[in-house]
Amino acid sequence: MKNWLLFLGTIVIVFLLAMLVYSIMDRRTEGRFAYKAQVAIEGIEPRDSLWGLNYPRQYQSYQKTQDTSFKSRYNTSGFRDALEEDPETIILWAGYSFSKGYNQPRGHNHAVRDVLASVRIGAPVDTANTAIPSTCWTCKSPDVPRLMSELGVKEFYSKKIPEFGSQVINPIGCADCHDPKTMNLTITRPALIEAFKANGRDINNASHQEMRSLVCAQCHVEYYFDKTSPDKKGSNYLTFPWKNGYGVESMIAYYDSIGFADWVHPLSKAPMLKAQHPDHEIYSFGVHAKRGVSCADCHMPYGTEGGQKFTDHHIGSPLANVENSCFVCHRERVEDLVSDVYERQGKVKGTSEVVQRNIAMAHLEAEQAWKLGATEAQMKNILKNIRHAQFRWDYIAASHGAGFHAPLEATRVLASASAIIQEARVELVRVLASLGQSQPVKMPDLSSKSALQAYIGVDLEKEKMQKAEFLEQVVPKWLAEGKAREARKKVTMLQ
Amino acid sequence: MSRLRKFERFLFKYSLIPPHKWRRAAIVAVAAFIGLGLYVLRVSNAASYLSDDPQACVNCHLMTPQYITWTHSSHREVAHCNDCHVPHNNVVNKYFFKAKDGLYHASIFTLRAEPQVIQAKSASVEVIHNNCIRCHEDQVTDTKTAALVENHHAKRTDRLCWDCHREVPHGRVKGLSSVGLQLEPIRLYDPDRKVVPAWLQKTMEEKNKKTQAK
């Protein structure tokens, strides 16, 4: 009898064990349905709307970068005319397309739209009528890493803008900064990786907090197009001048050592450098960087929605969202914090305006010296000083928010620019005197955009016609072609 | 050999051997017991519970809100589940507590008796509180704070840390409503983690090779 009981007992235990196994498998299956993605993100997916199905909060907040209604006092969004505000810069950029038109930027969502509408790229209908390289697309779209992976990096840099007209149609988006499998931050632009390497650093060692700035540093940096290095010939290879460091002196030393110039100034004949937007570099000199605060900490602060904590992807001025950004560390009144920012920006801006006026005058005085028959030997040092002073000024002026990111460094750099340009002007006075001119050089009205554009010979009327035609005829065709190409790509829905 | 005989005699003495004609079936039943037992270990991913990997805690989807809120917190970078939720005074106590808590969780989950909102029980509360102190002792006992904060000693001794620091680390809203989707497995301290994607690494290496070949 006992034997029977034992046998039956074993059977019951096995039965219960089987039920436990079933229960575990059952609950595991449940887990597979809970928190499930809507769509599979495969390869480099440039369409944000697909990512948005899986990450609705991040996507929807990112879409708000379309909104340009917030107005800050300086460098705000929404197409404020920078040339109208600082007309002297037209002289600074004479012979360079920035003298044609220069607007304050808009949000990330407008990247592709705005580069096509920019007066600076002209009307690149096809490769025959434009010199604008495909490299200008690099920071505009997650279609870029897709193209780079398909064609190769150098090949991507070797084309012209219209060749990718129907390829680059999505503005900056998810795939630019995120790994689709793990959603970890990732670097998709080779220039940053190469700049780290040139500096003797490995970007793979970056911490999570550093990555929260480095994904921005893929684009918000000073750069130039390398066309001459042996391995880069035949392309416009995007390169950061970081070999000697982030500082303005290091960059000037680098550019001088490779003999690089963006263009030769038609008035002063100086070989000029145009600073792009060295935001990351200048930021690194500021106190916030020193304390380990990342770009995302202020520009993408945490928010909550329905009790859920998430990173607000509405990238923009922290001044529009002081409570979530500054308040994390600074318990002050909103007005106090905002006025602290404006105070720093205002003082830097004021200094910058003085310097830019002096640089403009130096260009015009140099023009006069050439007219009176100055020799290259007389002008050599003057031109070098104009080149250096203008780059120092531009390093601050072109950087978004330098006045707040690193007010001390910004002031130091502007002070050095001021000293150098004064030196150039003193020398110019001497050269002019030796050529027989002791009176001040006659100058056009430095406070009128139209007078200055007329003075340097910018005529936008014809270009405007071509541009309108380009935007009405060519761009919609590119967009339609691109959309048709994307529609052929399979989308795997998971639910 | 003699030991085996002794064991056999022991089984016979207490009638633990089934009758002859059932013996074959009994062997099958015992084998099924062992086989299923091994399968339980495998299907429940039992070995993972010996590790400190937070992924082990989301073997059951029940813990997903806790896991997600933690991955969205600053503690993600410095403290894992076990750093706070099991004692660290000695290794025996650590595994004893872990086994006790784990088996309790597993039983409740299997019985489908889990509450809608999960809260720490008193034994857990003590462990967690001690672990806060374990890392933050220097901060909470900093003499400067004692001088600057009113009633500092009382404030740090007569209550739990999270009576005041209510957001740390799982957030103020606890439950399913506090999480969105967590699709991606977060692997911490992954030695192979690269911030440069594979395709870009490959293209850049090819380019280097080409340059060197030239």
Distance, CA of A184 to CA of A177 (rounded, Å)? 8
Q: Which of A388, A394, A380, A356 is nearest to A428 (CA)?
A: A380
Strands A237-239 and A308-311: unpaired
Using CB atoms, which residue from A6, A17, A203 is nearest to B40?
Answer: A17
Say if A26 is an interface residue toward chain B (CB within 8 Å). no
B71/chain A closest Cα distance in angstroms: 11
Closest of A168, A150, A139, A137 to residue A43, by C-alpha: A150
| CA A252 – CA A261 distance, rounded (Å) | 11
Q: Which of B16, B20, B40, B183 to mutate to test the interface with A (most CBs of A within 10 A)?
A: B183
Q: What is the pLDDT along chain A (495 residues), one digit of tens a residue?
A: 666 777 788 888 888 988 888 888 888 887 777 667 788 898 899 999 999 998 888 999 999 999 988 888 887 777 889 999 999 999 999 999 999 999 988 899 999 999 999 999 989 988 888 889 999 999 999 999 999 999 999 999 999 999 999 999 999 999 999 998 888 899 999 999 999 999 899 999 998 899 999 999 999 999 999 999 888 888 999 999 999 999 999 999 999 999 999 999 999 999 999 999 999 999 999 999 999 999 999 999 998 887 788 899 999 999 999 999 999 999 899 999 999 999 999 999 999 999 999 999 999 999 999 999 999 999 999 999 999 999 999 999 999 889 999 999 999 999 999 999 999 999 999 999 999 999 999 999 999 999 999 999 988 888 889 999 999 999 999 999 999 999 999 898 887
pLDDT of residue A346: 96
Q: What is the pLDDT of residue B190?
A: 61
Statement: residue B188 has pLDDT above 60: no
User: What CA dihedral angle connects A145, A148, A154 and A159, to 10 degrees?
Assistant: -100
Q: Choose the closest CB to B195 out of A57, A149, A211.
A: A211
User: CB–CB of B72 and A190 under 8 A?
Assistant: no
The confidence score (pLDDT) of residue B186 equals 52
Beta-carbon separation of A36 and B183 below 8 A: yes
Residues 214-253 of A with CB under 8 A from B: 214, 230-231
Q: So what's the ipTM on this one?
A: 0.74
| Neighbouring C-beta atoms of residue B170, cutoff 10 Å | 21
pLDDT value, residue A430 = 96
The enclosing H or E element of A351 equals helix A334-371
Look-up: residue for tokens 């690149």? A124
- The more confident residue out of A382 and B7 is A382
Judge: A21–B39 Cβ closer than 8 Å, yes or no: yes
Q: Do B180 and A57 make contact, defined as CB atoms within 8 angstroms?
A: yes
Please tell me the distance from the alpha carbon of residue A344 to that of residue B205, in angstroms, as a whole number: 45
- Residue that the structure tokens 């705000």 belong to: A76
SS3 label, residue A272 = strand
Q: CA A476 from chain center: how many Å?
A: 25
Q: For residue B16, give the chain A residue with the closest CA.
A: A3
Closest CB to A23: pick one of B17, B110, B185. B110
Q: How confident is the model at residue B185 (pLDDT cuts 50, 70, 90)?
A: low
What is the reported pTM? 0.84
Contact at CB, B195 and A203, closer than 8 angstroms? yes
Q: What is the CA A445 to chain-centroid distance, rounded?
A: 32
pLDDT the model gives residue B182: 60
Nearest CA in chain A to B78: A208
Q: What's residue B211's pLDDT? A: 62
Choose the closest CB to A10 out of B33, B183, B210. B33
CB contact under 8 A, B183 and A37: yes
Across chain B, what does the average pLDDT equal?
83
Task: Please indicate whether, in this complex, the C-beta atoms of B33 and A17 are within 8 angstroms of each other.
Answer: yes
Contact of B118 with chain A, judged by CB distance below 8 Å, is answered with no
The contacts of residue B206 (CB under 8 Å, 6+ apart) are A152
Instruction: Render pLDDT for B80-114 as a digit per residue (tens, 0 to 9).
Output: 899 999 999 999 999 999 999 999 998 998 898 98
Coil/strand/helix, residue A302: strand
The confidence score (pLDDT) of residue B213 equals 62
CA–CA distance, A77 with A393 (Å, rounded to integer)? 22
On chain A, the residues whose CB falls within 8 A of the CB of B27 are none
What residues of chain B lie within 8 A of the CB of A34, using their CB? 61, 64
pLDDT for B187 equals 54
User: Are the CB atoms for A107 and A68 separated by under 8 Å?
Assistant: yes
The answer, for A194 touching chain B at a CB cutoff of 8 Å, is yes
Pinpoint the alpha helices (H) of A55-183: 56-63, 82-85, 89-92, 111-117, 143-151, 153-157, 174-177
Which positions 95-114 of B are in contact with A (Cβ < 8 Å)? 109-110
